[in-house]
Structure 1
């Protein structure tokens, strides 16, 4: 992988670019704080609801609450990391994540759970936002897409293992043990980040403008039309996954009557497809451009969600048809995410943290809204979740074809324009 030329300014001194594989493992472990916080407790939601004396959906709302906090954490943490560095922001986020995870073990109501999950997610957002920004500091174009894909395939160990780990903990302990695990994992990551994570902002020009100017860079990102198209394509494709994620315990355990112990296997099947698609990305990048692969991914996802909608709402729903269609609908994230992210990030070489923050904020906020809407219109059927998945599948395709519509020459031109603008400033 080709790394950017290190910055050798008098203030920073020469910097050695980190080993890409080691960095990918570290960043993947850092980003895994999010799926561990979400997926590990999915099998425990019915037990938590019973413990609180609440309905299952009252506890499921905590998924949407977490996504909102996650979005806010990225919105704040991204510009902050552009100014003070990636590592300090990651460490602050991990401290928040650890403390709130410990507090959650003592909550006794769904309301208290939602409040603490919101704060916990802010810390998680701080930790996640530095991952994309660090990659942007070091890589461009297809190299960035390959790095995002490598991080993703390593990171997928977390959502693949998390529901199984949660189920095992429920067998031997109570649901509080799941959050004790998050405390332990967060503490380990705090030590690793503190001693092993390189400060990648030293490898690119640091933003030196006034603090208030940082927030105006969000407008700059939004005004870059085709970049916004890539961002919204990723948002739509991700919202398909988040819609399923929010309602997955109800879909499999309540609606289809799957035993909680079997839930991790059905959930893990989706992760297996994500990993498979992710690994296909590198061979495809040798023959195709980023935007071409992205269009294929969202197209296949749309076909799958259309089939899922028909299989559940028109025909007699069966696990034998629903599970494969869900696997493809969710699994296409492995193909869409790295290419949409890399395409989007190419437009913003000097404000990687801010750009990553905005993308993450819109992505997770949309996922949260989708979850809340599914909960609000929940009627004991799978119609709300399938409408949500279908709607966002259509949205992603509209965005990639009619808003992004980028070609390699478009992106190269945008890069030159952005670099010229930064030089003038």
Structure 2
């Protein structure tokens, strides 16, 4: 394929992976306004974020078999249509209960884009290029935390929080058109796959039995759960504890995201000299060290806004290194079941993230300690999973045979 075609496909896939994060980040500065309008509290509004994570987790398990059975595009069209309709519904919500329910359905609609994008990386690019493509997707994905909260802060201040969901509906419509006309069909539907519960569960179990998948998917999911704790509690930490405005919060969120994005691009350079397994281990060790220091300083009250920003930046940089490599190593053993593997990996990540964000809301004590505690504990568990799990990996899948051709070139 030409470089122009390759770039176009990566941009569309990146936009697909960014849809759910954009739906998360863009309304964060509006938490206080939503709480006022719906006569509730900021922690209650945060539950709409937790249910969004639950919706993504459940939705990915739904779409995985559908993407393998019907191909990538038909489930995409259905999910994107649901996202557009529920975005409009969120705009008209009159109570926090309705908003929570609609956010769940919105997540179910949006997550098909991310699952399909990950599976299509496996469909359209050689295995040895997957980690590099994932890093490029993270560059596009990085526009979400850079732009979404900043835009959301100004839009909410000027037009109200409801306007955020209008923008999301328009984004969904544009992305639906892009997937329809801009992406090739790199995967033929497998009509032999059954959509009955028992075969679907058996398919997921077969994926889980692959030691390389279970090790890197669960280690990656646990390490990434700390990010969800940060996202869920950041409006409280910055706007309530440190008393910054919604607009300033948006800029802070964007600035911190540079750590995640920059490290993900540095990862591409590091892969020229180190294996993905080495980078994951080094990143997780660094992540554990950073979060334990963060927890100690926060518990002792020795850290202010500047110190919090520095340590959060370092934490996100570690994720920028580990996440694309975890994703590539998790999916490397699969060809036929790439859709189910992608869905299971995403569901694991989002399920653990939903649990982390829910715990932050429940443990809320108007300090940063719950957030930092969860970041430290999930990082430590992730490292333990990696250390134990990699002992069971016998035949490591990291690159394809030289005879494998690029599907786009066929």
TM-score in terms of structure 1 length:
0.90
User: What does residue 195 of structure 2 align with?
Assistant: 211
**Equivalents in 1 of 2:194, 2:205: separation in Å?**
16
Does the 8 Å CA contact 2:31/2:45 hold for their aligned counterparts? Answer: yes
* Gapped regions of structure 1 (runs ≥ 5): 4-15, 417-425
User: What does residue 344 of structure 1 align with?
Assistant: 330
Change (3 A) 1:415 1:29: closer
* Gapped regions of structure 2 (runs ≥ 5): 402-410
Ranges of 4+ aligned residues in structure 1 off by more than 2 Å: 16-20, 138-142, 205-215, 404-407, 412-416
Does the 8 Å CA contact 2:207/2:213 hold for their aligned counterparts? Answer: yes
**Equivalents in 2 of 1:36, 1:324: separation in Å?**
24
Does the 8 Å CA contact 2:217/2:330 hold for their aligned counterparts? Answer: yes
**Equivalents in 2 of 1:332, 1:150: separation in Å?**
17
Does the 8 Å CA contact 2:329/2:397 hold for their aligned counterparts? Answer: no
Instruction: Decide which of 118, 121, 146 is 1:160's aligned counterpart.
Output: 146
**What is the count of residue pairs matched by the alignment?**
400
User: What does residue 296 of structure 1 align with?
Assistant: 282
Q: CA deviation at 1:79?
A: 1.0
Task: Give the match's secondary structure for 1:200.
Answer: coil
Instruction: Decide which of 123, 134, 156 is 1:170's aligned counterpart.
Output: 156
Change (3 A) 1:398 1:209: same
Task: Give the match's secondary structure for 2:245.
Answer: coil
**Equivalents in 2 of 1:90, 1:307: separation in Å?**
43
Does residue 225 of structure 2 align to residue 251 of structure 1? no
RMSD of aligned Cα (Å): 2.1
Does the 8 Å CA contact 1:141/1:343 hold for their aligned counterparts? Answer: no
Q: CA deviation at 1:415?
A: 8.6
Does the 8 Å CA contact 1:293/1:335 hold for their aligned counterparts? Answer: yes
Q: CA deviation at 1:207?
A: 6.1
**Equivalents in 1 of 2:396, 2:293: separation in Å?**
34
**Equivalents in 2 of 1:282, 1:354: separation in Å?**
26
1:343-422 aligned at under 5 Å gives the runs 343-405=329-391, 410-412=395-397
Q: CA deviation at 1:406?
A: 7.6
Q: CA deviation at 1:19?
A: 3.1
Task: Give the match's secondary structure for 2:247.
Answer: coil
**Equivalents in 1 of 2:205, 2:357: separation in Å?**
27
Does residue 41 of structure 2 align to residue 55 of structure 1? yes
Change (3 A) 1:165 1:413: closer
TM-score in terms of structure 2 length:
0.93
